[in-house]
Structure 1
Amino acid sequence: MTEEKRTKKQKNRDTEEGYARRRGRRSRLSPQERKKRRKQEVFLQWLVLGIIVFGAIILFFAYQYGRRRSQPVNLDQSQTEAVSTEADAEAEAILVPEPDIDVQLLTINEYSRPGIPTDPITAIVIHYLANPGTTAQQNRDYFENLKDYQTDKVSSNFIVGLEGEIIQCVPTSEIAYASNSRNHDTVSIENCHPDETGQFNDSTYQSLVHLTAFLCDKFDLDPLNGGIIRHYDVTGKICPKYFVDNEDAWEAFKQDVADYMSQYGAY
């Protein structure tokens, strides 16, 4: 026998012996072990399949979300008409024209604008500032600085100045710290005045009448039947001083507001 044939025969023998050894090792596994191994193989197969399915679901929803984000939201005709009708109805409901208001809302803070929503508004409360000769802007800035001073809790929805200017400090949908137990259901108006009598000059008075008439119309309040009150009527405080000291002037003011509303068919 040639050397080449002997070598080839030896390789075949080695191969057969190796196969027999491997087959012997496999045959030595108990039935329980083979069953356990099969379960492991099945589990791994299902795990891989589950991961693939889960990934496909995530990709599908990500694609759908991206499509919705990229498409503009369009109201159909009925929705557009409903929104337009509601806005028109609100505008038509307020007949008294809105006065010129300089909106300078205070920073939300616990000392002058807590950001607490009001209940339905039931009255407009008239105040005076008790610091003669100061301007609406000075008083507004004082309210703003209370967040830093932290010395008192006070503010107002509106301030009417010596030249008739109107500054809004707090939205009418939020309480202002002005009328004690009635903060939750009233809108407050502070008024500047030139001297210790507390009487408003003509510019302040005319703007106050206009603003009060507008707010009474907006909140459907009767100026002659509890829709306008003084701070005095809430707490007994002499505020606004001139309208407390002069009851006739107070009654005349309420009538002026009613007459102003009547000009526009609002009363």
Structure 2
Amino acid sequence: MREERNTSVNLEQDSEPGAAQTLQTPGRSDGTRGRGISRSRKASRGRRTSEIRENAEKRDNSVSREGTKRRSGRRRISIPVILLALAVGFGAGFGTGWLKWEYERPYTVDLKAVEVPAWVEQDFIRKNIFSRPDVSLKRVNSIVIHYVANPGSTAQANRDYFDGLADQDPEAGGTSASAHFVVGLEGEVIQCIPVTEMAYAAAPRNDDTISIENCHPDDSGSFNQATYDSLVKLTACLCSQLHLTEKDVIRHYDVSGKECPKYYVEHEDEWRQFQEDVKNAMKEKSWLQEA
């Protein structure tokens, strides 16, 4: 009886099924019961280890799959983001004039070979840091049209203004302004700077454009017929020699957003008509006629 009680002792000490079954085996004096308990506990620990290992593998696989999803998600997201950034960058560049055409247009035109019509008076202003910096142009991608914003002033008066900027004190700073040509109220044209040099007229595109200032009789900024006709012929002459089209003729407004030339910014249809007139003049070579 005592042995039977000893056999059932500690049945509740271990809740593991294997341990309970082992303790129900009749005890022996040769230590068989002890070996049974040891094997049972080892088996139990083995099962626990196996379960822990399986759970760890499941977690690793889950993390690995999640990481793959995240990485692939990042790859999917990164490409559209990059494309969007490039699109915005290019858009900003075109809008402000910073993105030039110089990478698309090779050096096909020798600017020294460009000739101006005989009816254009060449009266170059002095070289100076404020209006004629003596910087060579490498190429010309656009012709920029301006208005002088000084109603009733003449071509000569505007030419002299540009020249007078040379008298400013370089150390004190001052105003920088100029243009390659000025078209007057009577259709006269004065060339202030050679087409081989840069003028200070259409930042940030001074280095790849030729600028033409135009006089106007009143605050509307509209050019009279004499000014308009000379401007069309001069622009057509330059475009033909520089291998440009009427679409390469732009307003100061198109470069920097400045309201210049005022009338042709406010009246888009009139501007389109001007471009069309330049196109027709290129076909007819009207600049060969006397102004």
TM-score range (shorter-chain normalised) is 0.5 to 0.7
Alignment of 1:136-147 (within 5 A): 136-147=155-166
* 1:265 CA drift (Å): 10
Distance in 2 separating the partners of 1:265 and 1:128: 23
Change in CA separation of 1:232 and 1:99 when aligned onto 2, cut-off 3 Å: farther
Quote the residue 2:224 is aligned against: 201
Alignment of 1:39-188 (within 5 A): 98=117, 100-150=119-169, 151-188=174-211
Change in CA separation of 1:97 and 1:172 when aligned onto 2, cut-off 3 Å: closer
Given candidates 219, 225, 229, the residue that maps to 2:242 is 219
* 1:99 CA drift (Å): 5.3
Q: Who wins on radius of gyration, i.e. which is larger? A: 2
Change in CA separation of 1:196 and 1:97 when aligned onto 2, cut-off 3 Å: same
* 1:97 CA drift (Å): 8.1
Q: Once the two structures are aligned, what percentage of the paired residues are identical? A: 50
* Residues 237 and 285 in structure 2, CA contact (< 8 A), matched pair in contact too: no
* Residues 233 and 286 in structure 2, CA contact (< 8 A), matched pair in contact too: no
Given candidates 247, 252, 255, the residue that maps to 1:231 is 252
1:251 aligns with 2:272: yes
* Residues 157 and 170 in structure 1, CA contact (< 8 A), matched pair in contact too: yes
Quote the residue 1:47 is aligned against: none
* Residues 232 and 281 in structure 2, CA contact (< 8 A), matched pair in contact too: yes
Q: What's the Cα RMSD here?
A: 2.1
* 1:149 CA drift (Å): 3.0
Could you say what secondary structure the match of 1:102 adopts? strand
Quote the residue 2:89 is aligned against: none
Structure 1: which amino acid aligns with 2:130?
Y
Structure 2: which amino acid aligns with 1:261?
M
Distance in 1 separating the partners of 2:157 and 2:250: 25
* Residues 118 and 173 in structure 1, CA contact (< 8 A), matched pair in contact too: yes
Count of residue pairs the alignment pairs up: 172
Quote the residue 1:241 is aligned against: 262
Change in CA separation of 1:109 and 1:205 when aligned onto 2, cut-off 3 Å: same
Distance in 2 separating the partners of 1:264 and 1:211: 10
User: Over residues 142-196 of structure 1, what are the superposed CA-to-partner deviations in whole Å (9 max), with x where a residue is unaligned?
Assistant: 1001011353000000000000000000001100000011110000000000000
* Residues 99 and 210 in structure 1, CA contact (< 8 A), matched pair in contact too: no
For structure 2, the residue ranges without an aligned partner over 5 or more in a row are: 1-109
Distance in 1 separating the partners of 2:223 and 2:212: 13
Could you say what secondary structure the match of 2:228 adopts? helix
Distance in 1 separating the partners of 2:138 and 2:208: 5
TM-score norm. by structure 2 comes to: 0.57
* Residues 99 and 211 in structure 1, CA contact (< 8 A), matched pair in contact too: no
Could you say what secondary structure the match of 1:181 adopts? coil
TM-score norm. by structure 1 comes to: 0.62
Change in CA separation of 1:99 and 1:195 when aligned onto 2, cut-off 3 Å: farther
Structure 1: which amino acid aligns with 2:201?
A
1:264 aligns with 2:263: no
Quote the residue 2:60 is aligned against: none
* Residues 133 and 193 in structure 1, CA contact (< 8 A), matched pair in contact too: yes
